[in-house]
Amino acid sequence: MTDLHTPSERKAAETSLGDLLGEVTRDLSTLMRQELELAKAELRQSATRAGKGAGMLGGAGYAAIMAVLFLSIALWWGLGYLVGNGWSGLIVAAIWALIGLVLFLIGRKELQAVKGVPRTVDSLKKIPDTLKRNEENR
């Protein structure tokens, strides 16, 4: 008989295979629960940070809108000295209409260029053929 030096070797020699498998199963179950709790905690932390970041970006967007509004008002007021308030308002409105039109055209072009997921659709179409070949080989 061999000399068992470590406690784990002695325990392995004295314990049945069923008991050892039971312990391994319990340990794996505990490990999986702990990993799941860790994942939940990490997701909670990530979601909190993402929420804060989204809030900050929303605030930055609002600040940018206000800056554009007041810069437009300043441009309107400054042009008012040169061409009159009525005409300066029309000029500022025309500038914003032009910017809006350019953004609309570029955005529409980008959306028309979207083709979805052609490679995924192509590979999904190949799956039935692959399954048919496997069934024929049986």
Model pLDDT for residues 102-123, shown as the tens digit of each residue? 999 999 999 888 877 777 777 7
Structural contact between residues 79 and 92, judged by C-beta atoms closer than 8 angstroms: yes
Model pLDDT for residues 120-138, shown as the tens digit of each residue? 777 777 777 665 665 566 5
- Band the pLDDT of 1: cuts 50, 70, 90: very low
pTM (global) more than 0.75: no
Residue 6 is given by DSSP the state S
Residue closest to 89 by CA, chosen among 71, 67, 73: 73
Buried/exposed 26-52: b ≥16 CB within 10 Å, e otherwise:
eeeeeeeeeeeeeeeeeeeeeeeeeee
15 has pLDDT over 50:
yes
What whole-number distance in Å separates Cα of residue 129 and Cα of residue 123? 10
Contacts of 88 (CB under 8 A, 6+ apart): 75, 76, 77, 78, 79, 80, 82
Instruction: Please state the length of the chain.
Output: 138
